[in-house]
């Protein structure tokens, strides 16, 4: 009983400390899309290796004292001073490094998203062994040597909820040159990934059949309704590109399915009347993806947004974005 | 995370390199098999790195460790002691390399390397060795740097540059710490260098011992006089006083072998100014110190014996510096105690009958002891005695008889020994003194360099009213030895340093080599006086000289102040380095333009092309559409112009940029 109560107190205490630390970091390093690391943002402290090195130095000092050996004193002091000089070098390795948020790829719930950063060195020096990681993301260690800027992609799973996903604070760490000290910073890159609604299939598309009788049966690619080729235009679905022709060395061409040209479908908010908001969005998302897969034209009608029927990658992104941000303020990119 | 924990290939190359440079200064004191283990480990690790072999499994590792221990037990017959510890460290270094796969193994390996460097200093503090060790520090630090450059998969010198830079930056503060850090006495006793050979004079002297020593060109000690250097013939460096003769071998009386009442010396009257000098003795593994007679030292830890020599209770394992004052004219022990007289007259047994008879004859004919001394010296001069480094081997029994009457070829110990035997047989207290005679004056820094070949033995006789008087029978046989040195005394025989053809001393006649040798020796002296011999006394004097009375507060202030002084410039250099790619004037102007638009709410994205930015900006700021288009057009034209932009073009461009507001 007592132990449980005690651990509860400890847990609360820890949570409190964590909250205080978060607040401290937030105040000290506010969110920004461009961050240059400087003394306000960099923390530095000896790590385990540094501690081990310190113990080694103590042993060496003891040996110097016991053997009354001046050169051993000299070596010990040289290494101790090296440790001190390393503080400056380790700090200098991180300081002056500029991080820019480039973009974050949208993703479906539970999937991996890609965050892209650009690192730039602003002064005449190299930045070596920079370790980058968001909580939950994979880590990347990069060297900015002989280049002044470098792009880094980190992958992290997004949350379950649609809308904007923020990965939290980015950890930038380095122990170059001697590994005796850990030099790090937690920066909020103000980088958010868009999370689409989870696509959930519904039995059929209610109400659609009445308006467009032949739209109910979802067409499959490669049906007889193939019409011909035309030159590729930006925004065309990759699926419609005539890859075989491209492989033969012809220009980029797109297969056209004329039969679908007049079958434009409106995905309407009201199609799924009577069910919850998230459920509706999930179904709409599912159908949008289905139509896109078939190369069909489709439009979206939400209470606040209306997107005219069209097809192609850009259109799909527009539709999914509208679905993802339904009821959410568009404060992202 | 995984990739970060691996050892980059470049680091591995540096580590293997460091392992060989580390063993270099130790090479003379480790058994050869340790080197074999080294090569084997390096080869194996290289094959692992090439992907041909794999890391050893644990039974193999265990076997190697046990074999290593067993090898050291066999080679040194003990695990305690410095040499075996060093061999153990080096073996451990090689074996650790074999299993180093991760970064944390490399840390252990490299820190071990720093320890190995330190052990070298316990054996030698020679200037060249220290430079080699400094190089080793740089190489190990290079290994550490290379370890933290992920992705360096080729051998590269870059980490070396960084490490050299860092070590060089550490030197100033190291010097501050070195001179300011308080020196304590040892906290506990430590293993001594049991295997180290004793050098120089030994405690016992039998015919042939000194001549053997005279083959070495090594330095015994260096002396710096405060004032003029006395003439060479006066430089008799007393080390041991040998009063006991047993089976033809002379030996010194131990401090505790004298009765308690005889242990304190009777202090002679000192008149006039003493000679003041400091001596830096090379490690001898013995306890006694060398000085001119009559010597006193105020240094802590130096004691005087009743036969007027200086010694230390602790064995001299490192270069040792001491200050001495000597009064050469002082009369030593004018009143001889009964015990002392008995000791200095003892001639046990009944060997050397012819010598005894001769001495009795001299004593009967002479009016006083001084005449006996003269008779004997005359005998050495008149009879065909030869001073040689290659004396005829003497028989075990009646050796002095054989020397005095048959062979008559001998080195200083023969003359000193036979002289003292004759004196004692004649009833005159006498003893053998062993040490060095003469020395080479280094013109570079006016120090006297005393070499092993300056080793010498002479005699002291006690005369009523004069005390102990120095008599050197060698001077009677070969005056050149005393006036000019061994090399000149042996010039006909050609036996000087016959065993060391490479010794620089043999080439003293080649001026440039000799000058280089003397300069290096002067440097060594300075090094020994300032670094190796730096102790709490020197430290106290130094601090006192600079800062007056030294309080704890002053100490802290000096330490912190000098630390800050030394580190501040370094910090400035590191943190405020100049921008590299100094932007061209054109780019600066364009960035100025971007800033202007940025203030109006249109920020240029990273990597956004000027055209793309312009079209975006024009949409947001239709009012400035024309200006924006103008600036962008001009910028593109200038930036991608085939020839360099002229000043006129730039100033026009500057105007267009300024018009954007």
Higher-confidence residue of B266 and A322: namely A322
Instruction: Return the residue of A nearest to B575 by Cα.
Output: A92
CB contacts of B162 in chain A (<8 Å) are: 177
Q: Which of B134, B136, B178 to mutate to test the interface with A (most CBs of A within 10 A)?
A: B178
Sign of the torsion formed by the C-alpha atoms of A157, A159, A161 and A166: negative
Instruction: Return the residue of B nearest to A123 by Cα.
Output: B579
What is the pLDDT at residue B75? Answer: 85
What is the pLDDT at residue A333? Answer: 44
Name the pTM for this structure. Answer: 0.74
Instruction: Tell if the CB–CB gap between A85 and B103 is shorter than 8 Å.
Output: no
Highest mean pLDDT among A197-211, A268-282, B199-213: A268-282
Measured CA to CA, the distance from residue B310 to residue B11 in angstroms comes to 53
Which of A73, A77, A179 faces B144 most closely, judged by CB atoms? A179
CA quadruple A105, A106, A111, A115: dihedral, nearest 10: 30
Residue A259 has pLDDT above 50, yes or no: no
What is the pLDDT at residue A132? Answer: 92
Residue B3: both structure tokens together: 């990739």
Q: What pLDDT digit, counting tens, does each position of B60-118 carry?
A: 888 988 888 888 888 887 777 788 888 888 998 898 888 888 888 999 999 999 999 99
Q: Model confidence at A226, in pLDDT bands (50, 70, 90)?
A: low
B26, B414, B451, B456: the active-site residue = B456
Mean pLDDT value of segment A264-291: 84
What is the pLDDT at residue B499? Answer: 64
Residue A61 has pLDDT above 90, yes or no: yes
Q: Residue window 396-435, chain B: list those with CB within 8 Å of chain A.
A: none
Alpha helix stretches (DSSP H) within B426-459: none
List of chain B residues with pLDDT < 70: 1-4, 189-199, 493-495, 498-502, 574-584, 607, 641-646
Minimum distance, in Å, between the CA of residue A51 and any CA atom of chain B: 12
For residue B640, what is the DSSP state? Answer: T
Helix axes B610-620, B585-599, angle to 10 degrees: 30
Measured CA to CA, the distance from residue B496 to residue B484 in angstroms comes to 13
> What count of other Cβ atoms lies within 10 Å of the Cβ of residue B361?
12
* Measured distance between the N- and C-terminal CA atoms of chain B, rounded to whole angstroms: 50
Higher-confidence residue of B92 and A259: namely B92
What is the pLDDT at residue B164? Answer: 94
Report yes or no: A150 at the B interface, CB cutoff 8 Å.
no
Residue A243: partners with Cβ closer than 8 Å, 6 or more residues away: none
Residue A90 has pLDDT above 70, yes or no: yes
Alpha helix stretches (DSSP H) within A34-121: 48-67, 70-94
Which of A52, A64, A131 faces B4 most closely, judged by CB atoms? A131
Are A267 and A315 contacting, i.e. CB atoms less than 8 angstroms apart?
no
What is the pLDDT at residue A256? Answer: 67
Report yes or no: B127 at the A interface, CB cutoff 8 Å.
no
Are B210 and B412 contacting, i.e. CB atoms less than 8 angstroms apart?
yes
Mean pLDDT value of segment A316-323: 89
Residue A212 has pLDDT above 70, yes or no: no
Beta bridge partners, B456, equal B435
Are A216 and A70 contacting, i.e. CB atoms less than 8 angstroms apart?
no
Measured CA to CA, the distance from residue B420 to residue B406 in angstroms comes to 18
What is the pLDDT at residue B333? Answer: 84
What is the pLDDT at residue A10? Answer: 67
Residue A330 has pLDDT above 70, yes or no: no
Instruction: Tell if the CB–CB gap between A85 and B170 is shorter than 8 Å.
Output: yes
For residue B288, what is the DSSP state? Answer: B
> What count of other Cβ atoms lies within 10 Å of the Cβ of residue B313?
9
What is the pLDDT at residue A214? Answer: 44
Residue A262 has pLDDT above 60, yes or no: no
What is the pLDDT at residue A210? Answer: 37
Percent of chain A with pLDDT over 90: 17
What is the pLDDT at residue B145? Answer: 93
Report yes or no: B300 at the A interface, CB cutoff 8 Å.
no
Beta bridge partners, A130, equal A142
Highest mean pLDDT among A237-246, A255-264, B471-480: B471-480
Q: What pLDDT digit, counting tens, does each position of A138-174 carry?
A: 888 888 888 888 899 999 888 888 888 888 889 999 9
ipTM of the complex: 0.76
B133, B472, B521, B594: the active-site residue = B472
Measured CA to CA, the distance from residue B90 to residue B87 in angstroms comes to 5
């Amino acid at each position: 009983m007592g132990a449980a109560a005690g651990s509860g107190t400890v847990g609360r205490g820890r949570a409190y400390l964590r909250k205080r630390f978060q607040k401290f970091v937030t105040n000290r390093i506010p969110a920004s899309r461009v961050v240059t690391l400087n003394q306000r943002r960099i923390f530095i402290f000896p790590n385990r290796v540094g501690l081990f090195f310190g113990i080694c130095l103590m042993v060496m000092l003891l040996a110097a004292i016991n053997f009354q050996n001046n050169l051993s004193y000299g070596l010990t002091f040289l290494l101790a001073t090296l440790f001190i000089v390393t503080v400056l070098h380790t700090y200098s390795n991180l300081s002056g490094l500029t991080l820019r948020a480039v973009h974050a790829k949208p993703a479906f719930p539970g999937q991996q998203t890609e965050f892209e950063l650009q690192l730039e060195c602003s002064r005449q020096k190299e930045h070596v062994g920079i370790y980058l990681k968001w909580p939950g993301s994979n880590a990347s260690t990069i060297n900015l040597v002989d280049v002044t800027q470098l792009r880094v992609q980190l992958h992290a799973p997004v949350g379950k909820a649609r809308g904007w996903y923020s990965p939290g604070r980015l950890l930038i760490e380095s122990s170059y040159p001697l590994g005796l000290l850990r030099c790090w910073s937690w920066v909020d890159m103000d980088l958010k990934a868009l999370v689409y609604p989870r696509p959930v299939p519904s039995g059929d598309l209610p109400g659609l059949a009445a308006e467009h009788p032949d739209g109910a049966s979802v067409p499959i690619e490669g049906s007889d309704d193939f019409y011909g080729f035309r030159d590729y235009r930006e925004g065309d679905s990759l699926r419609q590109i005539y890859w075989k022709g491209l492989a033969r060395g012809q220009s980029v061409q797109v297969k056209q399915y004329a039969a679908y040209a007049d079958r434009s479908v409106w995905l309407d908010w009201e199609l799924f009347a009577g069910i919850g908001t998230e459920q509706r969005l999930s179904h709409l998302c599912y159908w949008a993806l289905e139509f896109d897969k078939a190369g069909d034209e489709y439009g979206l009608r939400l209470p606040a947004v209306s997107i005219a029927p069209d097809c192609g990658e850009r259109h799909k992104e527009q539709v999914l974005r509208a679905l993802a941000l339904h009821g959410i303020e568009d404060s992202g990119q | 995370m995984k990739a970060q924990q691996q050892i980059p290939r470049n680091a591995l190359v540096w580590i293997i390199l460091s392992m060989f440079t580390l063993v270099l200064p130790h090479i003379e004191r480790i058994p050869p098999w340790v080197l074999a283990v080294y090569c084997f480990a390096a080869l194996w690790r290289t094959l692992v790195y090439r992907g041909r072999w794999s890391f050893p499994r644990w039974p193999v590792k265990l076997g190697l460790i046990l074999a290593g221990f067993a090898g050291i037990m066999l080679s040194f017959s003990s695990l305690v002691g410095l040499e075996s510890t060093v061999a153990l460290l080096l073996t451990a270094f090689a074996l650790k390399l074999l299993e180093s796969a991760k970064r944390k193994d490399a840390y252990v390996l490299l820190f071990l390397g720093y320890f190995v460097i330190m052990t070298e200093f316990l054996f030698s503090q020679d200037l060249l060795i220290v430079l080699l060790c400094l190089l080793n520090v740089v190489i190990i630090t290079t290994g550490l740097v290379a370890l933290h450059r992920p992705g360096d998969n080729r051998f590269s010198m870059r980490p070396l540059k960084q490490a050299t830079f860092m070590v060089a930056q550490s030197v100033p503060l190291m010097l501050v710490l070195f001179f300011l850090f308080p020196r304590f006495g040892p906290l506990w006793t430590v293993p001594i260098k049991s295997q180290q050979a004793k050098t120089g004079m030994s405690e016992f002297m039998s015919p042939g011992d000194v001549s053997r020593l005279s083959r070495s060109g090594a330095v015994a000690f260096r002396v710096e006089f405060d004032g003029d250097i006395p003439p060479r013939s006066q430089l008799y460096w007393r080390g041991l006083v040998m009063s006991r003769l047993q089976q033809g071998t002379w030996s010194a009386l131990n401090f505790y072998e004298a009765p308690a009442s005889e242990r304190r010396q009777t202090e002679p009257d000192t008149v006039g100014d003493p000679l003041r000098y400091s001596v830096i003795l090379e490690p001898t593994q013995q306890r006694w110190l060398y000085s001119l007679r009559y010597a006193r030292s105020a240094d802590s830890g130096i004691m005087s014996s009743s036969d007027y020599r200086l010694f230390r209770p602790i064995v001299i394992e490192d270069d040792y510096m001491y200050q001495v004052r000597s009064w050469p004219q002082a009369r030593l022990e004018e009143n001889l105690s009964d015990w002392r007289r008995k000791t200095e007259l003892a001639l046990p047994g009944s060997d050397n009958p012819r010598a005894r008879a001769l001495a009795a004859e001299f004593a009967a004919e002479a009016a006083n002891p001084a005449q006996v001394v003269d008779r004997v010296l005359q005998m050495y001069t008149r009879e065909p005695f030869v001073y040689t480094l290659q004396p005829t081997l003497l028989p075990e029994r009646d050796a002095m008889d054989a020397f005095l009457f048959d062979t008559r070829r001998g080195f200083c110990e023969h003359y000193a020994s036979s002289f003292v035997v004759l004196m004692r047989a004649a009833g005159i207290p006498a003893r053998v003194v062993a040490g060095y005679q003469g020395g080479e004056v280094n013109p570079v820094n006016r120090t006297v360099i005393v070499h092993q070949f300056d080793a010498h033995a002479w005699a002291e006789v006690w005369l009523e009213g004069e005390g102990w008087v120095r008599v050197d029978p060698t001077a009677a046989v070969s005056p050149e030895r005393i006036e000019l040195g061994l090399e000149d005394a042996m010039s006909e025989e050609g036996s000087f340093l016959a065993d060391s053809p490479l010794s620089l001393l043999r080439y003293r006649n080649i001026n440039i080599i000799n000058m280089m040798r003397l300069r290096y020796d002067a440097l060594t002296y300075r090094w020994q006086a300032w670094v190796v011999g730096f102790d709490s006394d020197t430290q106290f004097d130094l601090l006192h000289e600079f800062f007056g009375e030294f309080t704890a507060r002053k100490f802290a202030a000096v330490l912190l102040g000098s630390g800050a002084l030394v580190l501040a410039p370094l910090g400035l250099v590191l943190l405020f380095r100049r921008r590299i790619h100094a932007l061209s004037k054109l780019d600066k102007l364009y960035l100025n333009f971007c800033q202007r638009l940025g203030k109006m709410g249109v920020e240029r994205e990273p990597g956004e092309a000027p055209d793309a930015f312009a079209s975006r900006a024009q949409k947001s700021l239709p009012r400035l559409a024309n200006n924006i288009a103008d600036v962008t057009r001009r910028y593109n034209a200038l930036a991608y112009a085939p020839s360099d932009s002229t000043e006129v073009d730039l100033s026009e461009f500057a105007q267009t940029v300024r018009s954007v507001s």
